[in-house]
Structure 1
Amino acid sequence: MDSLNNYIQEYTQQLEKGRIQKAYKGIIAFMSELRTELGNKYPDFTSSALYVGYMDMTYFGFTPPAFNDKKLKLAIVFVHETCRFELWLAGKNRQIQAEYHELLGQKELGAYVLSPIQPGVDAIIAESIVEQPDFDHFKELKQQIEAHIIRFSEDLNEILAD
């Protein structure tokens, strides 16, 4: 079994190479740019601060107006360990989340699947949207994510309206 000291030693060795810092800064810069551009393009959406995380996930909320009324939020999430982007539908609090989990469990969700109810799961629905992001092409990646956000929002709006 490894000790914390061994983990920190490995961490330090990796940091000495300089690649982790560059990758992490690149991810944060991308997410920050994406948040700013989406906020400018869709001013009626509510955008939250960027959560940089602990190298587990980096995300920000980007919620359509119709979701605000329902006390729901949409999060754009980069999962570091799997290097992929996800969209999460979540409640503003645990009670709202549980209510919508139950409500959506009674509806036809099409291709969407409810997330399991368990500690540490913050999404009612989580959808993987970009499995292998190409960070060398920021513009195309942002467009790809934006298209998924709009489709996801419209689909869920329709499901919630039924």
Structure 2
Amino acid sequence: MTATVVAAIGLGANLGDAALTVQRAAQSLGLLPRTRLLRCSRLYRTPAWGMQAQPDFVNAVALIDTGLDARALLDALLATEREFGRDRSVERRWGPRTLDLDLLLYGEAMIDEPGLQVPHPHLAQRAFALVPLLEIAPDAAIPGVGAARNAVSGLDLSNIQPL
């Protein structure tokens, strides 16, 4: 049997029916090859990060158990974004999007390759990812950083609203 890894995937959208898109995208993660959806957080409404003059986001985090290596998983996530109508070639960085899937954690791996950084390089600063992550994985650790609950303790959580 192939070894598997538990990975955390951040989901976000702020165009169209964002809540429905995030729910459907979470379900689609369980359809990836050699992958099983373990659980998904509830949905959260959060203000845009980076470029703030845009609609609020709907965010969630899903935990999956996957036999895909990190690069293959990232490729599958990017393909899923495209299936949901995202075209990264025409977007502005941190701009509005139909769907954003981020590989937040891949087991305890630390990967720094062109186009693939795990843990996600901004995870420890993003309450919109940490709050749903901690909901479903209260003991989550960010490799190279430490406990996710310690990272979130210094962040402003006032504008993250459960839906």
TM over 0.5: no
| Band of TM-score, shorter chain | under 0.3
| TM superposition score normalised by structure 1 | 0.28
| TM superposition score normalised by structure 2 | 0.28
Q: Which structure's residues are more often strand, by fraction?
A: 2
Q: Computing the radius of gyration over CA atoms, which structure comes out larger, 1 or 2?
A: 1
